[in-house]
Structure 1
Amino acid sequence: MELFLEPKNMDPPLIIVGTSPIALALEEWAPRFALAPLRISLEEAAPGGVADEPPTRLRNQLDLHTGTAAYGVVATMGVYDVDGLLALSALPLRYLGLVTSPKRWTAMRTDLAAAGASSEFIDFVTAPAGFDIGALGPQEIALSILAQIVERRRRHAQVRWRGQSAERHPEPDEAAHSRELAAPRQVIDPVCGMTVDLEKSPHRLVLDGTTYGFCCAGCRDRFARDPETYLSHA
Structure 2
Amino acid sequence: MTGNDSRASIDDPPHRATVSDGDVAELEAALTDRGEPYARVTIVRREPPVSANVGDRAVVTRDGELHGWIGGAACAQTTAISEAKAAMDDGKPRFVGIAPDPDEIDRPGLEAFPMHCHSEGVLELFVEPVNPTPELLVVGDSPVARSLSRLAGELAVDDVPVVAGAGDDHVAVHVVTTTDPDAVVEAVGRSPLVVVASMGKYDARGVAAGVAADAAYVGLVASDARSGEVIERAAELLETDPERVRAVVTNPAGVDIEAYTPTEIAVSILAEVVDARANAGSARRPAAEAQQSAEGTESESSGAESAAGEPAESDATEDGTGAADLATDPVCGMTADPETAPAVDHDGETYYFCCAGCADSFREEPESYLERGEAA
TM-score, scaled relative to structure 1:
0.55
Match of 2:231 among 98, 102, 109: 109
**1:150-173 CA-partner distances (Å, limit 9, x unpaired):** 12222343552238xxxxxxxxxx
Q: What residue is the counterpart of 1:121 in the other structure?
A: 245
Match of 2:273 among 149, 157, 165: 149
Ranges in structure 2 where 5+ consecutive residues have no aligned partner: 1-127, 169-177, 290-376
Distance 1:107 1:43 in 2: 24
Contact 1:41 1:58 in 2 (8 A): no
- In structure 1, the residue corresponding to 2:153 is in which secondary structure? helix
State the 1:57 CA deviation. 7.6
Aligned counterparts, 1:2-17, within 5 A: 10-17=132-139
User: CA 1:58 to 1:144, structure 2 compared with 1: closer, same or farther past 3 Å?
Assistant: farther
Q: What residue is the counterpart of 2:150 in the other structure?
A: 28
Contact 2:208 2:235 in 1 (8 A): no
TM-score, scaled relative to structure 2:
0.36
Q: Which is greater in Rg?
A: 2
Aligned counterparts, 1:52-201, within 5 A: 54-56=179-181, 59=184, 63-65=187-189, 68-115=190-237, 116-118=239-241, 119-158=243-282, 159-162=285-288
Aligned residues: CA RMSD: 3.0
User: CA 1:45 to 1:139, structure 2 compared with 1: closer, same or farther past 3 Å?
Assistant: same
User: CA 1:56 to 1:101, structure 2 compared with 1: closer, same or farther past 3 Å?
Assistant: closer
User: CA 1:74 to 1:117, structure 2 compared with 1: closer, same or farther past 3 Å?
Assistant: farther
Contact 1:98 1:127 in 2 (8 A): yes
State the 1:18 CA deviation. 0.7
Identity of matched residues, %:
32
2:180 aligned partner, one-letter code = P
Contact 2:254 2:271 in 1 (8 A): yes
Distance 2:213 2:182 in 1: 15
Higher relative contact order (CA 8 A, sep 6+): 1
Q: What residue is the counterpart of 2:163 in the other structure?
A: 41
The count of corresponding residues between Structure 1 and Structure 2 is 150
User: CA 1:142 to 1:82, structure 2 compared with 1: closer, same or farther past 3 Å?
Assistant: same
Contact 2:162 2:179 in 1 (8 A): no
